[in-house]
Chains A and B, each alone.
Chain A
Amino acid sequence: MLLELAGVSRRFGGLAAVADLSMTVAEGAIHGLIGPNGAGKSTVFNLVSGVLPVSAGAIRFRQAPITGLTPAEICRRGIARTFQATTVFREYTVRQNLLVAAQPRVNDGTLAALFRLRDYREREAAAVARTGELVSTLHLDLIADRMVAGLPHRDQKALSVGMALATGATLLLLDEPLAGLTLAETREVMDLLRTVRAGGITVLLVEHDMRAVMDLCDRITVLDHGTRIAEGTPREIQTDPAVIEAYLGAEA
C-alpha cells in the first residue's frame, strides 16, 4: 500500500471532522474520495499533507509513519497536494510557479546562489529543464511567461497539478481539480490526470463532479460525517445503498 490511514481522527473542539478513519490507497491508482459537503474530505487532505495535526491515529506513506512531520517534509517524502482556493502564486509567471515547486531538494543556500557555485548552477539548470518539460506536458507553452493572475481558470487548475508534479511527488492529493470548469475543460484536465497516472503517479482525488469521478477512478472511498461509509469500484459505489442514502437522503 502506498498510503495508509489507520484509525485517524481529527477533532475541532467537540466536533469530530474525521472519526476513526482507516483507508488505503494502492500504488498506481486514481483513487476518489467523495462525500457530501462537510463529510471531512478536505480535512483528510490537511491531515495527510501535515497542514493539520491528527488528534489520533497514524498515517503511513510507503510503510513509514508521516504523522507529525511538517508539510514541507511530507512533500519531500513524495506527497504533493493542491488546494481548492489558493492553488498558484498569482504574482508569478507560469514558469516561475513551476520553478518554486521544481527543486525543493536543491540546496536553497544563499552563499551557493551568491557565488553561483557549480553545484548550484547545475541543479538550477536541471530544474529549468524539468520546468520546460512540464510546460509542454501541460500544454502551457504559449503562456509560460505570462503572469498567472490574468490567466483563465482552466490554465490555473492545470498549472496547480503541474506544480504538484514538479515537486517530484509520487502521490498527488488533488482537491477539486475540476471545480468551475466547462465540460470541454473538464475533459482536458481528466486526460491530464490519466497521463499523470500513466507516468506511474498515484492520485487521490476529492471531486464533486460524479460523472468524472466514476469515469476516472479505479477505486472510491465515500465519507460521511467523518467516517467511511463505503469503499469499492465505481460500479459498487453507485449501487451501494448507504451511499445513495448519504447523497440523496433515503428515497429522496
Chain B
Amino acid sequence: MARSTFLGPAVTLALVAAVGVALPVLTQDSYHLDVATTVAMNLLLTMSLRLQLNTGQVNMAHISFMGIAAYASALAVTRLGLSFWIALPLAPLVAAAFAVPIGLVALRLSGPYYFLVTFAFSEVVRLVFNNFFVGLLGGASGLVDIPAPSPLLGLTFTDKPSQYWLMLMLFLLGAVVLVRLDYSRFGLLSGAIRQSELLAATLGVGVLRVKLTAFVIGAVWAGVAGAFFAHSHHVLHSSDFGLEPMVLLVAYTVIGGVGSVWGPIVGTILLTFTSEMLRELRAYETLVYGLVLILTMLFVPDGLVSIPGRLRRAWQRRRAGRADAMGVGVAA
C-alpha cells in the first residue's frame, strides 16, 4: 500500500492527467507526440508490472502478455473482421486466459525459479510468434497490414494526435484502477508479501491468491497496451515482445521505485527523456540503463521516488539532533 504521498492520490493523478492533456496543446510536433504516445503506453506497462513487483515477483513474461493481446487483437480485426472497439476489450481477456494457468503454475515457485520459469515462457511465446503458424502469425517477416482503429462516434484515429488521445485515455483508465488498488487492502497485502511472505502467510494472508490476482490484472493491462500497439504500429514482430524491451520495462520500474505506485511513473518518464536526449548514444543505451540500474540498487534501493522522503527524514533527524545538542526536547 502506498505510503502517504505529499499530495494524495487523487490530486497526483489529476496532475498527471493535466500534463497529459496539456501536451498536445503545447506541441503539435508529430515526433514529440510520438514519444509521448510511447511514454503513455510504457507507463501502462510499467505500472502493471509494478503491481506484480510489489508482491516480490519479477515476472519476465509481462511483455509476452502484451504480445499475446497484440496478436489477438490484430487477428480479431483482420481475420474475424471484428471492430477494433470489440477487439480492444477482448484482447486483454485473451491475455488473461493465458495468464491464469501460467500464473497458477509459476507462482508456486519463488525467487530465481519464478524468474526463470516466466523467462522461459516468454521465450516460448516469442518463438511461437516467430516460427510457428506462419500463415496466421506472419513468422519472421511479422504480422503486417494491421489497420488503425476504426472511427468511433464520429472520431477518427488515423493520425498521431488522435492516437495520442486514445492512448492517454487508456493509460489514465489503467492508472485510476491501479492506483485505487494500491491504496486498497489488496495493495497493503501485496507490499506485506514483498517484505516477508512467511510473516504474511502466518498472519492469514492468502499469499498465492494475492500474487495470482496481481499477475492476471497485470496481464490484462499489458494486454490493453498490446492492443493499442498493434493498431498504432500496424506491424508486429516477435522481437517487439522479446527480452530487450522487457529488461527496459524492469529498469524503468525498479529505477523509479517498486514500493510506491508512483515509482514507475517517475522512472518511465525520466528515463524516456534521458534516452531521447542521448539519442546519439543509441548503441550504448542498454549499457547506460544497466549502469543506472546497478547504481540505483546500490544507493537508492527503493527507487528515485523514495528520494524526497529520505531527504525529509534526514532533515528531521538533523533538526532533532541539533535540538538535542542544545538541550531542547523536540516531540516527534
Contact = CB atoms under 8 A, between A and B. Distances in A.
Contacts of B259: 91
Contacts of A90: 195
Nearest to A75: B204
B202 A103 contact: no
Interface in A112-144: 113-114, 124, 142-143
B233 interface: no
Given A51-B198, A89-B192, A167 B203 contact: yes
Interface string B182-215: 0011101101100110111111111101100100
A69 B188 CA distance: 24
B185 A72 contact: no
Interface stretch (A23-31, A94-102, A202-210, A237-245): A94-102
B204 A72 contact: yes
Contacts of A100: 188-189, 192, 200, 203, 205
Contacts of B3: 93, 147
B6 to A, nearest CB: 15
B25 interface: no
A92 B204 contact: no
B170 to A, nearest CB: 17
B151 to A, nearest CB: 30
Contacts of A91: 191, 195, 259
Contacts of B332: 142-143, 146
A106 B192 contact: no
Contacts of A164: 203
B195 A124 contact: no
B217 A80 contact: no
Contact of A72 (B186, B206, B213, B217): B206
B291 interface: no
Contacts of A143: 332
Nearest to B202: A71
B181 interface: yes
Contact of A80 (B181, B200, B203): B203
Interface string A54-94: 00000000000000001110111000110100111111110
Nearest to B206: A72
Nearest to B1: A96
A105 B199 contact: no
Contacts, number: 96
A104 B205 contact: yes
Contacts of B180: 113-114
Contacts of A89: 191-192, 195-196, 199
Interface residues of B, number: 30
Interface residues of A, number: 41
Contacts of A86: 196, 198-199
Nearest to B187: A113
A49 interface: yes
Nearest to B259: A91
A101 B188 CA distance: 10
A110 B186 contact: yes
B323 interface: no
Interface in B257-272: 259
A201 B129 CA distance: 59
Contact of A92 (B192, B209, B217): B192
Contacts of A50: 202
A251 interface: no
Nearest to B203: A101
A163 B188 CA distance: 14
A167 B204 CA distance: 7
B297 interface: no
A108 interface: yes
11 contacts: A51-B202, A71-B198, A72-B206, A76-B204, A80-B202, A80-B204, A89-B191, A89-B192, A99-B185, A108-B186, A108-B206
Interface of A: 49-51, 70-72, 74-76, 80-81, 83, 86-93, 96, 99-101, 103-106, 108-110, 113-114, 124, 142-143, 146-147, 163-164, 167
Interface of B: 1, 3, 177, 180-181, 184-186, 188-189, 191-192, 195-196, 198-207, 209-210, 213, 217, 259, 332
Given A75-B202, A104-B205, A108-B189, 10 more contacts: A72-B201, A86-B196, A89-B192, A89-B196, A91-B259, A101-B203, A108-B186, A110-B217, A146-B332, A167-B204
